């Protein structure tokens, strides 16, 4: 008796029990970047922020979309250079504070300009 | 209502975002091979450096005034453009990216005060990306372009237009008399679509300002000039003739051409150069999902440098429409081998893909020649590898090896780092 020929593939073995739970793997962009168009990276150079967790060589994730507030770590433009400091903004006084007692805070006199480029929302530190 | 958002001195602004020391200094950005000024800061404009001015002509002026000259860093400008465009898109529901630094925004259906909204979006683009922009708002594209010109001029040259029109200019909100004053203060040559030749003809005919042009009868304009100028006049009168294209039409031809950094005399160098050009053009072709029916290749000597002159181009019909790098490169190489003559200093070459068609359409053949082995999978892998590991990671051997600089490669002596796309080039913040 001729048997009908069925074309197709038959999967062998057991279906993965996790198949119904497939989700996306951890994506660092999701964790570190909320505003892609406004997020830029800088590299920190120097030791003045060591007590606030910013070490020499760390990559800084800087979000320009956030409004800087007192206590934020910021990247700022001072005298044509970029610097990373902590923003002090209390009682009409604005200054940039270091996270290392051997570095004095940066104060600004009339006519001096300091522009905040963005708020440091994370640092990327690699150990090897 | 339409808006045109345009980055101010865009290339210079991109450079300044990462080199604050360049602020308030005259800066120019030079074209490939450091040839001509293609962007100028306001300070450089004030010194009289013209757009497109050959750099060797400005060099003395530049030295006297301490002008900073930079090689064009298109990798940086491309990324900054992408950021600027995505923030500017918040202005309305439709966006047409018109060039690297301009986009039209369709503001149809946007409620509230449009000028106020545009001011806030302008502030946001500046804060988020560091790029200053000008925004023009009006009922048609041509008027939005004009409004943008007013917004920028009022900012850069105080007194040229009323100060309240600086940065953001909404022509639709101006009372008729004020609008006429603005149009009267603007020369016809500033109008989008009016080139120098037409502007000269108009001036001869007594049409000096945009107001003069607006008051012309469209039918007369068509009779005396052209349908194109008629359309411009109608647009200036507020009648929308050019729509906003959300979806750019696929390009009808793709060109990849370069001036060489130094004189090229050897066939081997030309072959390597056109291999790179054809490979680059093939990528553009695949990105837009097209195939090419014909390929044009050309090479010529410099019109400016001394020596014997030679210029030649060839069109090579392709066996069947293709987007295959190997086939396109072999056609380009056959072409350049036919063009090449020894004894000339070649200054420029290029590859153009013509007769482009939708990649999905395939012409059946009554031919006994076997189909070539399908290579679209290989091409997909090639594109992915080059995307992930950098352009030129995998290329055809005739492109030549990376290594010591070849004569045909570009001179970019004043190139700044790729701050936003290359980990080795991150800007430094002093801690």
* Predicted confidence (pLDDT) per residue in B84-101, tens digit: 999 999 999 989 988 889
CATH 3.30.1490.100 location in chain B = 254-359+373-399
For residue B295, give both structure tokens. 């390929």
The confidence score (pLDDT) of residue B131 equals 97
Confidence of residue B255 (pLDDT cuts 50, 70, 90): confident
* Chain B contact set for A40 (CB, 8 A): 419-420, 427
The CATH fold assigned to B1-186+416-431 is Alpha-Beta Plaits (3.30.70)
Q: What average pLDDT does the segment A112-119 reach?
A: 93
For residue B179, give both structure tokens. 């609008």
The confidence score (pLDDT) of residue B48 equals 92
Q: What average pLDDT does the segment A83-101 reach?
A: 94
The confidence score (pLDDT) of residue B134 equals 97
Please report which helix (H) or strand (E) contains residue B141, including its range: helix B141-156
Reply yes or no on whether the pLDDT at B44 is more than 60. Answer: yes
- Are A120 and A43 spatial neighbours (Cβ–Cβ below 8 Å)? no
Cβ contact, residue pair B428, A47, below 8 Å = no
Cβ contact, residue pair A47, B427, below 8 Å = no
Greatest mean pLDDT among A11-15, A99-103, B119-123, B194-198: B119-123
Confidence of residue B243 (pLDDT cuts 50, 70, 90): confident
The confidence score (pLDDT) of residue A64 equals 97
Nearest CA in chain A to B131: A38
Distance CA B430, CA A117 (A): 13
* Chain A contact set for B428 (CB, 8 A): 42-45, 82
What share of chain B has pLDDT > 90, as a percent? Answer: 57
- Are B365 and B297 spatial neighbours (Cβ–Cβ below 8 Å)? no
ipTM over 0.90: no
Q: How many residues does chain A have?
A: 128
The CATH fold assigned to A39-124 is Umud Fragment, subunit A (2.10.109)
Neighbours of A89 (CB within 10 A): 13
Determine contact: B128 vs chain A, CB below 8 A: yes
The question of whether A101 is a catalytic residue gets the answer: no
Rounded to the nearest 5°, which phi and psi values hold at A123?
A: -120, 150
The reply to whether the predicted model has a pTM over 0.80 is: no
CATH 3.30.70.270 location in chain B = 1-186+416-431
* Digit-coded pLDDT (tens) for B315-363: 888 888 888 999 999 999 999 999 899 989 998 899 989 888 887 766 6
Cβ contact, residue pair B431, A56, below 8 Å = yes
The confidence score (pLDDT) of residue B377 equals 77
- Tell me the DSSP string of B67-110: -EEEE--HHHHHHHHHHHHHHHGGGSSEEEEEETTEEEEE-TT-
Mark out chain A residues that contact chain B at CB-CB < 8 A. Answer: 35-38, 40-50, 54, 56, 59-60, 64-65, 75, 77, 80-85, 115, 117
Q: What average pLDDT does the segment A52-79 reach?
A: 96
The question of whether A85 is a catalytic residue gets the answer: yes
Confidence of residue A16 (pLDDT cuts 50, 70, 90): confident
Q: Of B400 and A72, which is predicted with more confidence? A: A72
The confidence score (pLDDT) of residue B149 equals 97
Q: What is the mean pLDDT of chain A?
A: 89
Reply yes or no on whether the pLDDT at B2 is more than 60. Answer: yes
The confidence score (pLDDT) of residue B331 equals 93
Chain CA centroid to CA A109, Å = 31
Distance CA B144, CA B131 (A): 20
Candidates A42, A48, A64; nearest CB to B128:
A64
Distance CA B323, CA B361 (A): 12
- Are B399 and B272 spatial neighbours (Cβ–Cβ below 8 Å)? yes
Reply yes or no on whether the pLDDT at B390 is more than 60. Answer: yes
Reply yes or no on whether the pLDDT at B371 is more than 60. Answer: no
Reply yes or no on whether the pLDDT at B402 is more than 60. Answer: no
Q: What is the mean pLDDT of chain B?
A: 88
The CATH fold assigned to B254-359+373-399 is Dna Ligase; domain 1 (3.30.1490)
Reply yes or no on whether the pLDDT at A1 is more than 70. Answer: no
For residue B324, give both structure tokens. 């295959």
Which of A34, A40, A115 is the best substitution to test chain B (most B C-beta atoms within 10 A)?
Answer: A40
Q: Of B283 and B364, which is predicted with more confidence? A: B283
Which of A33, A34, A35, A38 is the best substitution to test chain B (most B C-beta atoms within 10 A)?
Answer: A38
Q: What dihedral do alpha carbons B357, B358, B364, B368 form, nearest 10°?
A: 60
The confidence score (pLDDT) of residue B257 equals 83
């Amino acid at each position: 008796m001729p048997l009908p020929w069925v074309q197709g593939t038959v999967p062998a073995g057991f279906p993965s029990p996790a198949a119904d739970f497939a989700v996306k793997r951890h994506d660092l962009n999701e964790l570190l970047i909320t505003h892609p168009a406004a997020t830029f990276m800088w590299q920190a150079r120097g030791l003045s922020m060591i007590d606030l967790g910013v070490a020499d060589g760390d990559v800084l994730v800087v979000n320009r979309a956030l409004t800087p507030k007192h206590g934020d770590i910021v990247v700022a433009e001072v005298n044509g250079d970029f610097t990373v400091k902590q923003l002090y903004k209390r009682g009409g006084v604005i200054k940039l504070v270091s996270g290392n007692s051997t570095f004095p805070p940066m104060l600004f006199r009339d006519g001096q300009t300091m522009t905040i480029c963005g708020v440091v929302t994370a640092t990327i530190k690699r150990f090897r | 209502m339409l808006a045109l958002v345009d980055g101010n001195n865009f290339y210079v602004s991109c450079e300044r975002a990462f080199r604050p020391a360049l602020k308030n200094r005259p800066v120019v950005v030079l074209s490939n091979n450091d040839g001509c000024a293609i962007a100028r800061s306001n300070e450089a404009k004030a010194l009289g450096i013209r757009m497109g001015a050959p750099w060797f002509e400005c060099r003395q002026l530049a030295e006297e005034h301490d002008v900073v000259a930079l090689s064009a860093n298109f990798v940086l400008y491309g990324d900054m453009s992408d950021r600027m465009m995505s923030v500017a898109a918040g202005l309305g529901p439709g966006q047409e990216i018109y060039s690297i630094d301009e986009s039209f925004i369709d503001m149809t259906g946007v409620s509230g005060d449009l000028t106020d909204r545009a001011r806030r979006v302008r502030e946001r683009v500046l804060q988020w990306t560091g790029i200053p922009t000008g925004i023009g708002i009006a009922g048609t594209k041509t008027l939005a372009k004009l409004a943008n010109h007013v917004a920028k001029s009022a900012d850069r040259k105080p007194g040229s237009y009323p100060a309240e029109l600086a940065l953001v200019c909404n022509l639709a909100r101006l009372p008729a008399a004020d609008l006429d004053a603005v149009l009267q203060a603007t020369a016809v040559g500033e109008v989008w679509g009016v080139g120098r030749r037409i502007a000269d003809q108009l001036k001869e005919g007594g049409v000096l300002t945009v107001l003069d042009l607006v008051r012309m009868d469209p039918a007369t304009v068509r009779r005396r000039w052209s349908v194109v100028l008629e359309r411009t006049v109608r647009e200036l009168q507020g009648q929308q003739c050019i729509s906003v294209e959300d979806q750019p039409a696929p390009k009808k031809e793709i060109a990849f051409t370069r001036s060489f950094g130094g004189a090229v005399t050897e066939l081997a160098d030309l072959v390597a150069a056109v291999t790179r050009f054809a490979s680059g053009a093939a990528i553009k072709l695949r990105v837009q999902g097209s195939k090419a029916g014909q390929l044009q290749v050309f090479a010529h000597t410099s019109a400016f440098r001394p020596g014997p002159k030679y210029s030649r181009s060839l069109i090579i019909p392709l066996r069947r429409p293709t987007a295959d790098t190997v086939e396109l490169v072999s056609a380009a190489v056959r072409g350049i081998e036919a063009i090449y003559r020894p004894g000339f200093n070649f200054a420029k070459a290029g590859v153009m893909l013509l007769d482009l068609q939708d990649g999905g359409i395939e012409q059946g053949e009554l031919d006994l020649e076997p189909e070539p082995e399908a290579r679209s999978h290989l091409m997909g892998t090639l594109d992915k590898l080059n995307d992930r590991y950098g352009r030129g990671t995998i290329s055809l051997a005739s492109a030549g090896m990376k290594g010591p600089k070849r004569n045909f490669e570009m001179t970019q002596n004043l190139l700044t780092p790729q701050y936003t796309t290359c980990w080795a080039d991150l800007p430094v913040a002093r801690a």
